[in-house]
């Protein structure tokens, strides 16, 4: 082999070696095509990074915040990895990370895991807890500024409804969900954030599903249909369910909980809250039955409608019995 040929071969080998070294062993997906549990689990696992012997964290995003780990969303990730994905190895490492960087607030959705918060809502900010290598670890912190217009944000309406459920205030929960429903246009929630960006936020659909499932409300089905329709599955989407940008950890975890947690409310609701749901459904049924009976007694129901009123009475009382059965099944 000539000297020039040897030189060319060496140059080629060096080029190939540099390419291999520069290529990461595992790259995180920017989004998933659809929110199947397997796709979400793989996505979360792809964002994991070791920080020290025995623990590591899940980065927030493969693009926008690829070197940032929030303790708030790692709380979500630890649950999803362990309880839904069955990935105990990574879940244990994330749990050790949360223990190494403790905080008293994991954003308002901590209520899903029986971690309470107080009302009114206040503004949240991000605080750097540490920097390990290239990874920045951040806590979510509440500040003293009250969010006066919380009812213009779909996520806060859903979270306030969940707060009321946990505290046995079923009627107040339904009131918040009624406001939430008014913001839904079939694709997502046109709240104040949407009016600014022109894009729907996917995680808000997930929160709405979680809360509506707690109360067995039919809206859960239409919100679920919208969530499944987003293609590709990303953090933001536009009219027509067109995914925009990348997927982040928050949206992925909340979607997994909304769609695949067998009983999302049981993660947070204690007996008092279960009874609140029972009372809420019972109150609705009793109120309807009382109204029908009153009309029958007064004779205000038209003759050809009396049979229908009677059916409504039976249906109302049957629904009340079903509510009782569901709670004590």
Strands (E), 148-300: 200-201, 236-238, 242-244
Do the bridges between strand 236-238 and strand 242-244 make them parallel or antiparallel, or are there none, so unpaired? antiparallel
Is residue 265 within 8 A of residue 165, CB to CB? The reply is yes
pLDDT at 228 over 80: yes
- Give counts: helices (H), strands (E), the chain: 12, 8
Binned at pLDDT 50, 70 and 90, residue 74 comes out as: very high
pLDDT per residue as tens digits for the range 260-288: 998 767 665 543 444 444 445 554 444 33
Q: Where are the domains of the chain?
A: 37-267, 271-327
Cα–Cα nearest to 162, from 220, 111, 216: 111
pTM for the whole structure: 0.77
pLDDT at 96: 98
pLDDT per residue as tens digits for the range 44-65: 999 999 999 999 999 999 999 9
pLDDT per residue as tens digits for the range 133-168: 999 999 999 999 999 999 999 999 999 999 999 999
Cα–Cα nearest to 161, from 105, 226, 227, 109: 109
Q: Residue 140: left if φ>0, alpha if ψ -120 to 50, beta else—which one?
A: beta
């Amino acid at each position: 082999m000539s000297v020039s040929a040897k030189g060319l071969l060496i140059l080629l080998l060096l080029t190939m070696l540099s390419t291999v070294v520069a290529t990461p062993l595992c790259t995180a997906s920017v989004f998933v095509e659809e929110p199947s549990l397997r796709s979400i689990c793989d996505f979360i696992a792809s964002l994991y990074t070791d920080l020290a012997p025995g623990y590591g964290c899940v980065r927030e995003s493969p693009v926008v915040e690829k070197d940032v780990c929030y303790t708030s969303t790692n709380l979500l990730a630890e649950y999803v990895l362990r309880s839904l994905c069955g990935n105990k190895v990574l879940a244990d490492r994330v749990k050790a990370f949360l223990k190494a960087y403790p905080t008293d607030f994991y954003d308002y959705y901590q209520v899903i895991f029986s971690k309470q918060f107080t009302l009114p809502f206040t503004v949240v900010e991000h605080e750097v807890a540490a920097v390990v290598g290239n990874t920045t670890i951040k806590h979510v912190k509440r500040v003293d500024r009250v969010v006066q217009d919380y009812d213009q944000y779909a996520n806060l309406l859903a979270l306030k409804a969940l707060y009321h459920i946990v505290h046995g205030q079923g009627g107040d929960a339904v009131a918040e969900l009624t406001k939430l429903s008014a913001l839904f246009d079939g694709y997502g929630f046109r709240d104040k954030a949407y009016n600014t960006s022109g894009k729907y936020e996917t995680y808000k659909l997930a929160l709405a599903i979680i809360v509506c499932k707690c109360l067995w409300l039919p809206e859960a089905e239409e919100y679920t249909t919208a969530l499944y329709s987003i293609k590709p599955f990303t953090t933001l989407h536009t009219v027509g369910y067109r995914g925009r940008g990348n997927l982040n950890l928050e949206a992925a975890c909340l979607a997994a909980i909304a769609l695949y947690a067998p009983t999302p409310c049981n993660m947070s609701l204690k007996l008092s809250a279960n009874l609140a749901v029972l009372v809420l459904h019972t109150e609705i049924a009793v109120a309807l039955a009382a109204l029908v009976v009153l009309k029958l007694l007064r004779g205000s129901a038209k003759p050809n409608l009396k049979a229908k009123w009677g059916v409504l009475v039976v249906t109302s009382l049957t629904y009340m019995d079903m509510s009782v059965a569901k709670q004590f099944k």
